[in-house]
Amino acid sequence: MNGARRNPRDFWEKGRGTGAGAPRPLGGVPSGAPRAARPSRLAVPDEPRPTGPPPRVGGAVAALVVSLLTLAVPILGISLGFWFFVLVTNVPGIGFGIAALTKIPDEAAVERFLRYTWACNLAYVVLSVVFLVPVMVLALMMMMAGF
């Protein structure tokens, strides 16, 4: 790649670049002060302007939505009469997803709970497949037997 071009990830991680951040007031001088005391409009603020969204809000919402969608498996199992599907509800994934959303200002906590949520979602999908295969075999055997 061209050495002059920067990686897009650097833009979000380091907070540098020409992002469309919210405009900040350039000085603490009230508008009624004499013109000589006001800073010029071309003055550069000491602090860099924020250029990115809050830490991983979209990822946390997506993880929570996927955790809530996993409730379809226990609901389907209960509707088929298999009560033990209640035991494989993704309660930890839903709890970690909610915790990730409640920790929004703290980037480290959001990232940690986001990893926990996706790990629970992945484990839940694997566990659902393990439970689904015997149920399908049982249903096939019942159909072949004519029950």
Which is more confident, 53 or 111?
111
pTM score: 0.57
Does residue 20 surpass a pLDDT of 70? no
Structure-block tokens of residue 136? 């399908």
- Of 21-30, 79-88, 112-121, the range with the lowest mean pLDDT is 21-30
The two tokens of residue 60 are 């946390």
Per-residue pLDDT tens over the stretch 43-52: 556 666 666 6
Instruction: Name the percent of the chain lying above pLDDT 70.
Output: 62
Task: Spell out the long-range contacts of 31-40 with Cβ–Cβ below 8 A and sequence spacing 24 or more.
Answer: none
Domain spans in the chain, listed from the N-terminal domain onward: 1-52, 56-147
Q: Pull the structure tokens for residue 129.
A: 């497949």
Q: pLDDT (tens digit, 9 = 90+) per residue, 64-116?
A: 999 999 999 889 888 888 888 888 789 999 999 999 999 888 888 999 999 99
pLDDT of residue 60 exceeding 80: yes
Q: To the nearest whole number, what is the mean pLDDT of the chain?
A: 77
pLDDT of residue 56: 78
How many angstroms separate the first and last alpha carbons of the chain?
Answer: 65
Q: Output the CA angle 127-133-139, nearest 5 degrees.
A: 135
pLDDT confidence of 139, banded at 50, 70, 90? Answer: confident
